[in-house]
Chain A
């Protein structure tokens, strides 16, 4: 058998296998789009009837009291925003600083210890954190801040920050790690200090990954349910004014979780709960869209500079 013949006999079946694998990979890739579409269709099917059953003006009302058909969504949207914004403000500086420390500053042994530890934190069940928050953090917040009750947006934000920091650190650290070491060497060779290198070179170079980390963190914060249900007090009040952060709030996720179990199938309340799900979907869609738009813009700019 000549070498060419043997190649021909073995190459044909291999190509067949490759076709199957390629098709499989393509199918899994497209299935993500399919699943998102199916979820959207389901939410639209269950949520849109609410727009016919409840006057639109009422959905923008300030009172959420579904057992007597008051379906004002504003307190719930506001509650989710307050808790998520609070968590983001707390988590982003802390998480980025930790990522920079692990990637750029920590000695090798500390780095090898810190990274897995942070990732273990990311797996902490939210109900455990919620229970801790209810029994330990909420009383402490009430005493330390002198607010009427510790079951408030700030407690929820603190716990959510604790939940999203590990995600943020892990992804941001990976992004920083992926920045070629030659960038740092070049900066240092030009006389930049270590801090200038981190702030002006490494972080901007890793901006896409860092932004992804922040967006995933925000996405997790807005979607988190159990923890916020246990510690934010679930009072459906409109969070207006600066003190709203220190008052109880009711988030969209907690509302769905608390009420879905009891609601009569097909009732206006049931449809409105799905409308809330739709609003949540649109929020996380917008967050992700904004993130990829920024990353995409940067990539274009980088390509232009390099060409």
Chain B
């Protein structure tokens, strides 16, 4: 289920076409000369992007932002084929995407707009409190298959992951399974459930005491349990929080990006400048992400 929520009453029909069809829309020359900016990509960032767009509608009513999810890869792909003005990505652009952009004559420009911690979530009834990254890696590669092997009850471990088109999936593969070595030999166990949405993971974690999943800190609700994580065997266990991400002690945190097809100008530049302002960064904190400033 991909988020597809058009914003503001005004250009609803146009926005629907832009957001759902993935086609770029030239706004009709309405009074006040409205500008439509399409903003598509990471599902992790979709709530944040929506909140920003709503707040920005007050700051600059002449600019209408059309926000869509779909995954970081989807947003960047749309940026490269010209159907998206501003790509949200929870990972940096890949070398292949960079090459494809240059082949299209584009110069993708990167902005770090927020930070995110990936929370490890389990069912509240699970007695396990903390895991190390090597333990998580062993679980997700299928080497550990029972909670008793990591100090829990005698239950099978059910591994949950986002689909492969999610930036969170790639980040988790490289930084948890492969312990930071992006080209490492580890793979997700074939028994890993790949769920198409954050909601799919939350729903399963809420009701299944066997399950372990991961998701952006912004998506964790009170009815699941967040585990403390240690970066190395014997290291300190740290719970994800704004403070622990900012001081670098929580080991699974990342930057969140926005990409433009080239150096931004006009409405796009103004919006990006606003996104980094204290008012917009307060929204980042309100949603459980970590402000960059």
Interfacial residues, chain A to chain B (CB-CB below 8 A): 62-63, 65-68, 75, 134-135, 138-139, 142, 148-151, 229-230, 233-238, 247-248, 250, 258-259, 261-262, 264-265
Q: Which residues of B contact A264 (CB under 8 A)?
A: 77, 96, 100
> 8 A-B residue contacts at CB 8 Å?
A66-B164, A138-B204, A139-B207, A234-B163, A234-B195, A261-B70, A261-B71, A261-B74
Chain B residues touching A, range: 20 to 34
Q: Which residues of A contact B163 (CB under 8 A)?
A: 234, 258-259
A65 touches B208 (CB 8 A): no
B165 touches A259 (CB 8 A): yes
B158 touches A149 (CB 8 A): yes
Interfacial residues, chain B to chain A (CB-CB below 8 A): 2, 70-71, 73-74, 77, 81, 96, 100, 155-156, 158, 163-165, 170, 187-188, 190-196, 200, 203-204, 207-208, 210-211
Chain A binding site: helix, strand, loop or mixed by DSSP?
Answer: loop
Using known A-B contacts A234-B196, A262-B165, determine if residue A149 contacts B208 with beta carbons closer than 8 Å.
yes
Using known A-B contacts A67-B164, A234-B196, A235-B194, determine if residue A262 contacts B73 with beta carbons closer than 8 Å.
yes
Q: With A68-B187, A235-B194, A259-B165 given, can you name 11 additional A-B contacts, CB distance below 8 Å?
A: A66-B164, A139-B207, A139-B208, A149-B193, A230-B200, A233-B194, A233-B195, A235-B193, A236-B190, A262-B73, A262-B77
Most buried by B among A65, A235, A261, A265: A235
What is the distance, in angstroms, from B42's C-beta to the closest C-beta of chain A?
Answer: 12
A118 to B164 Cα, complex, angstroms: 38
Q: Which residues of B contact A250 (CB under 8 A)?
A: 194
Using known A-B contacts A63-B187, A134-B203, A234-B163, determine if residue A151 contacts B73 with beta carbons closer than 8 Å.
no
A235 touches B190 (CB 8 A): yes
Residue of B whose beta carbon sits closest to that of A149: B158
What is the distance, in angstroms, from B102's C-beta to the closest C-beta of chain A?
Answer: 15
B193 touches A248 (CB 8 A): yes
Q: Which residues of A contact B194 (CB under 8 A)?
A: 233-236, 250, 258
Most buried by A among B190, B200, B208: B190
Using known A-B contacts A134-B203, A142-B208, A262-B70, determine if residue A237 contacts B191 with beta carbons closer than 8 Å.
yes
B192 touches A65 (CB 8 A): no
Q: Which residues of B contact A142 (CB under 8 A)?
A: 207-208
Most buried by B among A65, A139, A259, A262: A262
Q: Which residues of A contact B196 (CB under 8 A)?
A: 229-230, 234, 258
Q: Which residues of A contact B164 (CB under 8 A)?
A: 65-67, 258-259
Residue of B whose beta carbon sits closest to that of A65: B187
Most buried by B among A63, A138, A248: A248
A150 to B155 Cα, complex, angstroms: 15
A235 to B190 Cα, complex, angstroms: 6
What is the distance, in angstroms, from A97's C-beta to the closest C-beta of chain B?
Answer: 33
Most buried by A among B70, B155, B163, B164: B164
A164 to B164 Cα, complex, angstroms: 30
A66 to B73 Cα, complex, angstroms: 13
A262 touches B71 (CB 8 A): yes
B170 touches A67 (CB 8 A): yes
Q: Which residues of B contact A134 (CB under 8 A)?
A: 200, 203
A148 touches B158 (CB 8 A): yes
Residue of A whose beta carbon sits closest to that of B164: A67
Using known A-B contacts A65-B164, A135-B203, A261-B165, determine if residue A150 contacts B208 with beta carbons closer than 8 Å.
yes
What is the distance, in angstroms, from A196's C-beta to the closest C-beta of chain B?
Answer: 49
